[in-house]
Amino acid sequence: MRPVRGNFKDALYNTPVQGTAADITKKALGRLLQRLADTGVKIIGTVHDEIILETPDRLPGEAGVILRETMIQAGEAYLGKVPVEVEVTIAETWAEK
């Protein structure tokens, strides 16, 4: 058996956290597809546990509410009674985030 190097303990503890966040994000994406159908809102990408939407000018607030609710529901499906916090940022460009 070869010796363990580097931050093995960090990876050991961090992997379940990152894996669960990835699962929550995927569940939220699936639910968002259904909730955003026929709204004109597009899912344009994900970065780690972030979901990036593009909305018509008239819908950013409404899309933000839907995104927040959906992500909380997805988190609660995995985490049960553990509080789920979601931060939504609305901006014209990614640079404004």
Q: What is the pLDDT of residues 3-35, one digit of tens each?
A: 666 677 777 888 888 999 999 999 999 999 999
Model pTM score = 0.84
Please name the residue that has the structure tokens 């899912």: 43
Contacts 24+ apart (CB under 8 A), 80-85: none
Q: What's at 62, amino acid-wise?
A: E
- pLDDT of 1 over the 70 cut: no
Q: Enumerate domains of the chain plus CATH numbers.
A: 8-96 (3.30.70.370)
> What pLDDT, in 10s, does the model give residues 28-56?
999 999 999 999 999 999 998 999 999 99
